[in-house]
Chains A and B, each alone.
Chain A
Amino acid sequence: MKTDSTTSVGASDVRFVSVEKSFETATALHSLDLEIERGTLFALLGPSGCGKTTTLRLIAGFEQPTRGQVYIRGKDVTGIPAYKRSFGMVFQNFALFPHLSVTENVAFGLQMRGIGKDVIRQKVAAVLDLVALGKFADRYPRQLSGGQQQRVALARAVVFEPDVLLLDEPLSALDKMLREQMQVEIRQLQHRLGMTTVFVTHDQEEALTMSDRVAVMNHGRIQQAGTPKDIYDRPRTEFVATFLGASNILEGHVRGREGDRAVVDVAGNLIQVSGTPVSKGKLRFALRPEKIVLDPQSGIRAVVKDVIYRGAQTFLYLDMGGIALNAVLQNTAATPADIETGTSVGLSWETASAVALEDPT
């Protein structure tokens, strides 16, 4: 049924409504709700086995949900097999057809849609130009480098203008240098085409660099979704705080409130923590090591246990009244050059940097 639901759901291109997926042995997804806006580059981030790949395969239709509905462009596609959906996919190992040339690989999706030969020729040529592979049209996949194969896979996935583009760990088969270059290329291409894109990765840096929005997944649940900055600066759970970059996880009793912040006692130091309605009991919060600066005037004191010099940064391993704390200092001209092990230092940070965590203690 093609109704106007396309417009009624508005800008959401992919939508999961309490989707559950269990395999014979385990549950892969617990009642997942997800909405991906049109035109965004959306990252599903998490460790292996967190359910991110299952989520992607549910969008593709390679798996069907045990419960719940999947919508693409407002249309309920639950139960519809992959080949009747409209998505392009770049596979982890690219899955280029080894027996077909670059041109034939890219033309495949158009041929399946019964498009005329002339149109196919034009579109293939155009998309190969877009990914700067015009010269390689007649080569076979095995004659291409990893980066070139990656671009062919991209071209093949976007040439028939699918509703959604899916990327399954698209860069994991490439070496580090190439990976960084392709991160930029994929992002630029996505912006130019404005195609809703979902990509799966276990690399937090990749997720932060490339995406407009990130959903951090663990144990078959979305822990937190938002812009990369949002998620990095205001993690809501310990998992998110530690999976994306390093974080100090601290805990203390709430002593009172100051405006919208709670005042927490951590080993005798009173620390203001933002983003919590709590005014009593225990509270856990995250503090990024790089937010900490040395401040001789500060009342918060810690003893330096170890100092590691790493060029642009200096890592400090601190002991704050029996609690371990890490700090990363940028080695600018303003930083004191020598920090001795065993000395006591004063610490301070922007009050917004101490973020309360929601998970139960």
Chain B
Amino acid sequence: MGAVFLRLIVGIALTLIMGPILVVLIVSFSSGDALVFPPPGFSLRWFVEFFGIAEMRNAFMLSIVLALTSACASALLGLLGAIYVSRNRNGLSTFLQMLIMAPLVFPALILGLALLLLYKTVNMSVLPGLFIAHVVVCLPYAFRAVLTSLQSFDTTLEEAGQSLGAGPVRSFMLITLPIIWPGVLSGWLFAFVVSFGELNTALFLTGPGIVTLPIEIFSYLQFQGNQLVVAAASALQVLIILFVLVLAERLVGAKQLVQR
């Protein structure tokens, strides 16, 4: 009895969580003009249409570029922070860890507003401002992944390197980095995915001609654009994330991704 009840709840939860995403995926391949279920047939017409709309195309490209660059910056900053935190037990390391992890739970919209006020005051241009916001938001994910792998790294290996004549920097580059790189890579991938879907912080920080894909989808929805183009845009979002996750699973293994 209890087991059946448990499975029922699991089924309901999975349906509620996955349902909307699956609906978007299925509908985006529809050949019909409107949302009908089941779709009348299979076609890629809405994807073609998506890339035919200049704003959508530009938003898509901007999101990709922004995700690539901010993931690199987050992974680098996360690596630096994780090195310090994993090697020190002092006030600064505790503070640094809290500071880096803070944007993870901090209301994103408020961070966006605060950044917007700052940018307006110092006359920051749109693109670098958006980039920095993405880095701040992605940093906790990259940091956490790198920190996990650095904490399980056996530091006697670095001592071994030093006993063989390699200085601290060389030991790190030749020994530590090659061993912890799955952690760094999964941190990069997390950051990429988070940046690619970033929404609430970027809401205030986009500008004319500089709009990310999630924001473009949002404004399209608000102004009642063609819903199936939005479905295609959303499906692209999902597909790229799936692609990155599969890639990550191949490169670093599922365990590395799930552990936190």
Interface check B159, CB cutoff 8 A: yes
Q: Are B164 and A156 in contact (CB under 8 A)?
A: yes
Q: Give A58-84 interface residues, CB cut-off 8 Å to B.
A: 60-62, 81-84
Instruction: Give which listed residue, B162, B170, B175, B179, contacts A82 with CB less than 8 A.
Output: B162
Interface residues contributed by chain A, number (CB under 8 Å): 26
What does the 1/0 interface line of A109-133 toward B look like (CB < 8 Å)? Answer: 1001100000000000000000000
Question: Shortest Cβ distance from A338 into chain B, in angstroms?
Answer: 55
Determine the residue in chain A with the shortest Cβ distance to B175.
Answer: A97
A160-B154 in contact given A95-B160, A97-B175, A98-B179 (Cβ < 8 Å): no
A157-B163 in contact given A97-B175, A98-B179 (Cβ < 8 Å): yes
Q: Give B83-123 interface residues, CB cut-off 8 Å to A.
A: none
Chain B interface, DSSP helix/strand/loop, else mixed = helix
Q: Give B184-214 interface residues, CB cut-off 8 Å to A.
A: none
Instruction: Give which listed residue, B159, B165, B166, B178, contacts A91 with CB less than 8 A.
Output: B159
Q: Give A77-112 interface residues, CB cut-off 8 Å to B.
A: 81-84, 87-89, 91-93, 95-99, 108-109, 112
- A88 to B160 alpha-carbon distance, docked (Å): 9
Q: Are B156 and A91 in contact (CB under 8 A)?
A: yes
Q: Are B179 and A109 in contact (CB under 8 A)?
A: no
Query: Could you say which residues of chain B place their CB within 8 Å of the CB of A87?
Result: 163
Q: Are B162 and A62 in contact (CB under 8 A)?
A: yes
Q: Are A83 and B165 in contact (CB under 8 A)?
A: yes
Q: Are B178 and A60 in contact (CB under 8 A)?
A: no
Instruction: Give which listed residue, A60, A95, A112, contacts B170 with CB less than 8 A.
Output: A112
What does the 1/0 interface line of B133-166 toward A look like (CB < 8 Å)? Answer: 0000000000000000000001011011111111
Q: Are A95 and B154 in contact (CB under 8 A)?
A: yes
Q: Are B166 and A83 in contact (CB under 8 A)?
A: yes
Determine the residue in chain B with the shortest Cβ distance to A94.
Answer: B160
- A108 to B163 alpha-carbon distance, docked (Å): 10
What 10 A-B pairs are tightest by C-beta distance, nearest first?
A109-B164, A112-B165, A95-B160, A89-B163, A82-B162, A83-B162, A95-B156, A99-B178, A83-B167, A112-B166
Q: CB within 8 Å of B: which residues of A? A: 60-62, 81-84, 87-89, 91-93, 95-99, 108-109, 112-113, 156-157, 160, 166
- 24 CB < 8 A contacts A-B: A60-B159, A60-B163, A61-B162, A83-B164, A83-B165, A83-B168, A83-B171, A84-B165, A88-B163, A89-B160, A89-B163, A91-B156, A91-B159, A95-B154, A95-B157, A95-B159, A98-B179, A99-B179, A109-B165, A112-B165, A112-B170, A113-B165, A157-B163, A166-B163
